[in-house]
């Protein structure tokens, strides 16, 4: 814990009447609830003052921030082009241009006899390209820009796209005629992610949200008709369920999926008859999750009915009914998705903490898993819009291998590298090592830890280390390459990921053991990982900075309360640190949906007391905390800005001699700044703060 100098005066806290709430006989006083009033001038003034204070406290890092930003920029091939994917008569791709913040989405007609994707080494535009959408043009005059839907109709004549200029993920949907370049008057405001075209491109399905920001309605729009005449195709009244819509790869069906955290239900609409009523594939049963992929005469069903790590079955596409087993349940092998092609099925899976790909030739019994040589990696399907193909596109990366795109021939089994992310300068992957270690949790569970570091870093307890964690929603923190991370590694910092329970790295049971009334396992696993890397000689407690975001920000707040001595710094990005108050308020975005992840403290006194015992805001105590940097966005609809604002205010009050910083993006949301250069600047800000805490802040 450090003491601030008088020059860094803290922002004043407005004197407001505290808010009281009572649940299950427990009355709690919340002195900072007034910060939830986003439109109150005092709230804006407070957030602005916090930003000014953070700027003052970190002013000495300005030179290092600039250096790191330039390192990221100089290592990045700014003018670049993605590997084109074939769909029908076109290659589709995106590209970036040096000096421009956003990507440009393009296509080019397939030349006669052309089978391999055209990939210019310098990232230059393809000869004869057609620009479908230029994010830089759309973003003109706006401080924030994000693209939601980007969906070309099956016949290639129309493009549905949606834009957000605030960061609150409320999009406006547009339709562009790709034959004329005209943006049609078919605009719809306040839509969510997701869309689907009919087979002939005459009808567009899209989603809207309710007051709690839950996608709950699927609409049908006939192109060229007033949007006021659009029809509701499906509406989900149960507030636990989130609705999605999409067109199958075969382009035969539009699928409407309603899913909660633990239950799902799918309906199908023939894409050639878009005015038809949706047909239910299987009715929802509490606790049973299933997803659907179309393949010929059948629907493939990936499900967990009596199969904790999921199994694959199928049913008739003409008359859905009983499920016929195809791949039985195999404990320890988590089946995550299935992709259907004319002659092959491809299953994405997870086993022994690593992702994998399994190929099933149709009519054969010789299914097999693809193999890769590195001890840590992440592999999966990428794109693959074509149904009738014998080749699939894969992405591959590791901590030391830049993002790589492969084409895999399903007939010859040849794996062809199409492109590896360029890393400019003197980067050499052989100069780094990656390693898998294991910590022992309080209950004896072995918790995997993934580490990467520059060769030559001594394992003598003196190396600084960044420990990252998430641990919620069955989301896995798989190894991935980061150009920005090189600025840490090249300064002798070890980067590590604690694969704590609540994530999905070790299968469905790993997730179940880190949610609801087992949530504290997530936090104690992370602390166990921190204790282990010190005991194993990777680092020492005064050289560890913890980092996490969103639900991982909840983890950061919890471990700061639980084991402050284990860390010298904590970075909490868009952190869910006021979880109990948020989950108690069903009017807030996403709250009801979240009850199956965290529990319902409104109805259950047990859940209430359990959540109250770990939520960071409720458990700030007068102890020596590590320095904390909290990052948020004022337009965030997933974790509202006031959660970290209240948390930092309470920390300051309870621990007056601590150093706690709050940085609020005043025009962004959950994902932070939208432009790539702005995102690099924000990452440089965070990395410079981390290096300062680790004693490596030399310019």
pLDDT at 14: 63
Q: Which of 692, 697, 451 is nearest to 569 (CA)?
A: 692
What angle separates helix 551-562 from helix 520-535, to the nearest 10 degrees?
60
For residue 516, pLDDT over 50 is answered with yes
pLDDT at 15: 64
pLDDT at 668: 82
User: What digits encode the pLDDT tens for the residues 443-462?
Assistant: 999 999 999 999 999 999 99
pLDDT at 4: 42
What's the rounded mean pLDDT across residues 111-134? 93
pLDDT at 3: 37
Residues known to be catalytic: 550, 636, 670
Confidence of residue 364 (pLDDT cuts 50, 70, 90): low
Q: Which of 191, 146, 192 is nearest to 165 (CA)?
A: 146
What's the rounded mean pLDDT across residues 566-589? 95
What's the rounded mean pLDDT across residues 428-452? 97
What's the rounded mean pLDDT across residues 631-644? 93
One DSSP character per residue, 482-494 reads: -TTTHHHHTTT-E
For residue 2, pLDDT over 60 is answered with no
Confidence of residue 669 (pLDDT cuts 50, 70, 90): confident
pLDDT at 588: 86
What's the rounded mean pLDDT across residues 309-334? 97
* Dihedral sign for Cα atoms in the order 319, 321, 327, 332: positive
3-class secondary-structure state, position 507: coil
The string over 510-531, giving b where at least 16 C-beta atoms fall within 10 Å of a residue's C-beta and e elsewhere, is bbebbbbeebbbbbbbbbbbbe
Confidence of residue 637 (pLDDT cuts 50, 70, 90): confident
pLDDT at 520: 98
pLDDT at 46: 94
User: What digits encode the pLDDT tens for the residues 130-175?
Assistant: 999 999 999 999 999 999 999 999 999 999 999 999 999 899 999 9
For residue 325, pLDDT over 50 is answered with yes
Indicate the range of 459-473, 499-513, 580-594 predicted with least confidence.
Answer: 580-594
pLDDT at 121: 81
Tokens of 281: 């594939």
User: What digits encode the pLDDT tens for the residues 96-110?
Assistant: 999 999 999 999 999
User: What digits encode the pLDDT tens for the residues 541-572?
Assistant: 999 999 999 999 999 999 999 999 999 999 99
Residue 583, phi-psi category: left (phi > 0), alpha (psi -120 to 50), beta (remainder):
alpha
* Whole-number average pLDDT of the chain: 95
CB atoms within 10 A of CB 8: 13
Confidence of residue 212 (pLDDT cuts 50, 70, 90): confident
Higher pLDDT, 18 or 134: 134
Please check whether residue 137 is in contact with residue 145, taking contact to mean a CB–CB distance below 8 angstroms: no
The CA-based angle 260-441-529, given to 5 degrees, is: 90
Higher pLDDT, 638 or 562: 562
pLDDT at 45: 94
CA distance 467 to 46: 31
What's the rounded mean pLDDT across residues 594-600? 96
pLDDT at 1: 34
Domains of the chain, earliest start first: 41-73+426-578+615-693 (3.40.50.1820), 320-422 (no CATH)
pLDDT at 178: 97
What angle separates helix 642-654 from helix 41-57, to the nearest 10 degrees?
60
pLDDT at 640: 93
For residue 208, pLDDT over 90 is answered with yes
CB atoms within 10 A of CB 178: 18
One DSSP character per residue, 173-231 reads: EEEEETTT-PBPS--EEEEEEEEEE-TTSSEEEEEEE-TTS-EEEEEEEETTS-GGG-E
pLDDT at 96: 96
């Amino acid at each position: 814990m450090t003491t601030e100098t008088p020059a860094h005066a803290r922002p004043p806290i407005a004197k407001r009447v505290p808010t009281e709430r009572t649940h299950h006989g427990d009355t709690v006083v919340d002195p900072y609830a007034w910060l939830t009033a986003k439109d109150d001038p005092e709230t804006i003034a407070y957030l602005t003052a916090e930003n000014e204070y953070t700027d003052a406290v970190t002013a000495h890092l300005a030179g290092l921030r600039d250096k790191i930003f330039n390192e990221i920029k100089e290592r990045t091939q700014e003018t670049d082009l993605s590997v084109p994917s074939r769909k029908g008569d076109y290659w589709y791709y995106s590209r970036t241009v040096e000096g421009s913040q956003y990507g440009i989405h393009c296509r080019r007609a397939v030349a006669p006899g052309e089978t391999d994707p055209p990939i210019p080494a310098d990232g230059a535009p393809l000869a004869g390209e057609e620009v479908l959408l230029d994010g830089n043009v759309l973003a003109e005059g706006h401080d924030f820009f994000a693209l939601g839907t980007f969906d070309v109709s099956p016949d290639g004549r129309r493009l549905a796209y949606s834009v957000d200029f605030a960061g609150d993920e409320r999009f406006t949907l547009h339709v562009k005629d790709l034959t004329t370049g005209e943006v049609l008057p078919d605009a719809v405001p306040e839509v969510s992610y997701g869309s689907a075209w009919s087979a002939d491109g005459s009808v567009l399905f899209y989603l809207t949200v309710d007051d709690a920001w839950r996608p709950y309605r699927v609409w049908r729009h006939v192109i060229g008709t007033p949007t006021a005449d659009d029809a509701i195709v499906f509406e989900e009244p149960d507030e636990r369920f989130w609705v999605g819509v999409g067109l199958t790869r075969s382009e035969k069906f539009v699928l409407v999926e309603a899913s909660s955290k633990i239950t799902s239900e799918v309906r199908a609409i023939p894409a050639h008859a878009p005015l038809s009523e949706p047909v239910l594939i299987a009715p929802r049963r509490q606790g049973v999750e299933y997803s659907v992929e179309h393949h010929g005469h059948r629907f493939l069903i990936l499900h967990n009915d009596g199969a904790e790590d999921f199994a694959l079955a199928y049913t008739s596409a003409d008359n859905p009914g009983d499920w016929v087993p195809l791949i039985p349940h195999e404990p320890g092998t988590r089946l995550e998705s299935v992709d259907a092609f004319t002659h092959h099925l491809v299953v994405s899976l997870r086993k022994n903490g690593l992702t994998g790909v399994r190929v099933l030739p149709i009519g054969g019994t010789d299914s097999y898993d693809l193999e890769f040589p590195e001890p840590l990696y992440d592999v999966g399907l990428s794109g693959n819009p074509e149904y009738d193909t014998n080749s699939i596109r894969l992405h591959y990366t590791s901590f030391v291998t830049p993002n790589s795109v492969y084409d895999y021939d399903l007939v010859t089994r040849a794996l062809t590298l199409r492109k590896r992310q360029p890393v400019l300068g003197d980067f050499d992957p052989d100069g780094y090592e990656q390693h898998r270690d294991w910590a022992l949790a309080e209950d004896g569970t072995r918790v995997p830890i993934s580490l990467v570091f520059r060769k030559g870093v001594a394992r003598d307890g003196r190396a600084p280390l960044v420990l990252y964690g998430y641990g919620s929603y069955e989301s896995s923190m798989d190894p991935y390459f980061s150009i920005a991370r090189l600025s840490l590694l090249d300064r002798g910092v070890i980067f590590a990921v604690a694969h704590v329970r609540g994530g999905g790295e070790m299968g469905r049971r790993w997730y179940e053991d880190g949610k609801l009334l087992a949530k504290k396992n997530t936090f104690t696993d992370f602390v166990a990982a921190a204790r282990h890397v010190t005991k194993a000689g990777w680092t020492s407690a005064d050289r560890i900075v913890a980092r996490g975001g969103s639900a991982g920000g909840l983890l950061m707040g919890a471990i700061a309360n639980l084991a402050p001595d284990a860390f010298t710094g904590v970075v909490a990005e868009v952190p869910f640190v006021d979880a109990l108050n948020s989950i108690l308020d069903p009017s807030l975005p996403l709250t009801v949906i979240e009850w199956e992840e965290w529990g319902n403290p409104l109805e259950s006194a047990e859940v209430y007391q359990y959540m109250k015992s770990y939520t960071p805001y409720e458990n700030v105590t007068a102890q020596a905390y590590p320095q904390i940097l909290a990052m948020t966005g004022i337009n965030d609809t997933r974790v509202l800005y006031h959660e970290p604002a209240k948390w930092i205010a309470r920390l300051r009050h309870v621990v007056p001699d601590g150093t706690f910083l709050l940085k609020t993006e005043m025009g962004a949301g959950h994902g932070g700044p939208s432009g790539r250069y702005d995102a690099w600047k924000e990452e440089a800000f965070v990395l410079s703060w981390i290096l300062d805490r680790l004693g490596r802040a030399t310019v």
